[in-house]
Structure formats: C-alpha cells, structure tokens
Amino acid sequence: MLRRKGVKFKIVIADMCCDKCAKRAEKALSAVKGVVSADVRYSAGFGVIRCFEAPSEEEIKSAVEEAGFSVTSIETME
C-alpha cells in the first residue's frame, strides 16, 4: 500500500498570551483547506501543521490573523 507523503510547516506565532490563545490559533489552522492536523504550543511560541495538499502562506497567515494573532515566520519542515 502506498502512503501519500505530507508536508509539514512550522509557523511562529506572536501575540499569544496563554494556552487558550494557542488552542484558538490551533482551531483556526485546523480549518485551513488541506490541513490534516495542527498543534500549537504557547510555551514554544509556534505551531506545526501537517498537510497532504499545502495551503499558501497567505491562507495560513490569514487564518492566524483572523484568530487575533500575528505570524512571524513560516518554514517548511522535513
């Protein structure tokens, strides 16, 4: 059985002040088309999303900004 290889992104998120903020950012990222899972950690200041179809950086930034936060950087992870 063949497995589809996904893409992971690390998103550095500013303006979070607690774990509830991280959950709000995580929920917003999970709603982006193509995202399979999202994990945001307030203590680390970033989130990781896993996707089979990579969303654009603008889609990622827009979701985070609509949740009330800022994106400092987006990096592709291997």
Q: Is the pLDDT of residue 33 over 90?
A: yes
The C-alpha atoms of residue 70 and residue 46 are separated, in whole angstroms, by: 11
**Contact (CB, 8 A) for 17 and 56:** no
Average pLDDT (52-69) is 95
Q: In what order do the strands lie in the sheet with 46-51?
A: 35-41, 46-51, 7-14, 70-77
Q: How confident is the model at residue 20 (pLDDT cuts 50, 70, 90)?
A: very high
- Which pLDDT belongs to residue 18? 96
The C-alpha atoms of residue 32 and residue 59 are separated, in whole angstroms, by: 7
Average pLDDT (29-36) is 96
More confident residue, 54 or 2: 54
Helix or strand (DSSP H, E) at 14 = strand 7-14
